[in-house]
Amino acid sequence: MSALLNLSRAWSGRALVVAVPILWLGLFFALPFLVVAKISLSELAIAMPPYLPLAEWADGALNIVLNFGNYLFLLSDGLYIAAYLESLKIAAISTLFTLLIGYPMAYVIAMARPDRRNLLLMLVVLPFWTSFLLRVYAWIGFLKSNGIINNMLMALGITDAPLQLIQTDFAVYIGITYTYLPFMILPLYANLSRLDRSHLEAAADLGARPLTTFLTVTLPQSAGGIVAGCMLVFIPAVGEFVIPALLGGPDTLMIGRVLWDEFFSNRDWPVASAVAVVMLLVLIGPILLLRRAQAREEG
């Protein structure tokens, strides 16, 4: 161990090793949030860039004008609050679906013969490596009115007319569940594969039925994995843009889509920034929950 301390002390490059990632991530990940916060407090202008500066020299004095109008606008226009609530609802329902499919998959993989586990895990991860956009696109072919699901339902005589599947909230749930499934399975698998088998055996020896053992031993022990997996799906799903844009209907109001439209269609950068700041505030709770769950899982 002492040699290792030498490694870190004696190495003159140590400061460099720390400085490069901190400077890069500080400049291109942390600092931008301050810029967003600043621009969310400025006024829209017809200029490039389309906002007024916060601070200006006028008559030899520095004038700083903070404009909370963008936030008041978000509060007064019901559309934004509705979009935040709708995003939280859609993300929560999709996360629940992902858990209901992901937990059994993680469980079966964790309990599989060791030589099969890696293969099954690879089958879970492989779709994640192929294009996200194209996997969402594939669902258009499945869900549209003359799509694969409707063709099958009509061929089997279950329905006469095609069902409206695409451009619904339901299609968005499927899209999110489908694309985020690996993020649920991997932390759950990591947790379940560490499960203490002796507890299971003890419960069985004491006469507990498998279901009782599962509910009283396995499920509580995997709580950390469940929280981590759910947050890994929920947090990015709240701000999802591509899935509601391609699979959702015109009234599927998600906040990521609202931000996109404010920026690209209305070119209102200050309001888009205010939308982003509020979204970040909404997500701080879930992010802290995730960090705690991950710390507990690692520790």
Partner 1 sequence: MRQKFPVMTAIAVLGFVFLYAPILSLIVFSFNESRLVTVWSGFSLKWYGELFRDTQILEAAWLSLKIAGLSASLALVIGTLAAFALVRFGRFRGRMALGVMVSAPLVMPEVIVGLSLLLLFVSMEGLIGWPGGRGLLTITIAHATFGAAFVAVVIQSRLVTMEMDLEEAALDLGARPLRVFFDVTLPVIAPALVSGWLLAFTLSLDDLVIASFVSGPGASTLPMVIFSKVRLGVSPDVNALATLIIVIVSIAVTIAALHITRSNKHAAR
265 binds partner 1 (CB under 8 A): no
81 binds partner 1 (CB under 8 A): no
Binder of partner 1 out of 13, 60, 114, 299 (CB under 8 A): 13
DSSP 8-state code for residue 44: B
Binder of partner 1 out of 64, 197, 206, 250 (CB under 8 A): 197
DSSP 8-state code for residue 57: E
Measured CA to CA, the distance from residue 153 to residue 207 in angstroms comes to 46
Smallest gap from residue 157 Cβ to partner 1 (A): 18
Residues 175-194 that bind partner 1 (CB under 8 A): 178, 181
243 binds partner 1 (CB under 8 A): no
Hey, which residues does 27 pair with through a beta bridge?
none
The CA–CA distances, whole Å, from 115 to 118, 120, 187, 192 equal 7, 10, 20, 17
Residue number, 169 or 243, with CB nearest to partner 1: 243
Binder of partner 1 out of 41, 186, 227, 232 (CB under 8 A): 232
Measured CA to CA, the distance from residue 239 to residue 235 in angstroms comes to 7
Number of residues that bind partner 1 (CB under 8 A): 100
Please check whether residue 225 is in contact with residue 103, taking contact to mean a CB–CB distance below 8 angstroms: no
The CA–CA distances, whole Å, from 136 to 69, 172, 202 equal 37, 10, 45
Closest CA to 284 of 25, 33, 22: 33
Q: Taking contact as CB under 8 A, which single stretch among the options 54-62, 63-71, 75-83, 130-138 is the one that binds partner 1?
A: 130-138
Closest CA to 182 of 101, 287, 289: 101
Specify the DSSP element, H or E, that contains 56. Answer: strand 55-58
Q: Taking contact as CB under 8 A, which single stretch among the options 56-64, 68-76, 77-85, 228-236 is the one that binds partner 1?
A: 228-236
Q: Taking contact as CB under 8 A, which single stretch among the options 10-18, 63-71, 76-84, 153-161 is the one that binds partner 1?
A: 10-18
96 binds partner 1 (CB under 8 A): no
Residue number, 59 or 265, with CB nearest to partner 1: 265
Hey, which residues does 157 pair with through a beta bridge?
none
Smallest gap from residue 10 Cβ to partner 1 (A): 6
Smallest gap from residue 254 Cβ to partner 1 (A): 10
Smallest gap from residue 76 Cβ to partner 1 (A): 22
Residues with Cβ within 8 Å of residue 200, at least 6 apart in sequence: 213, 217, 218
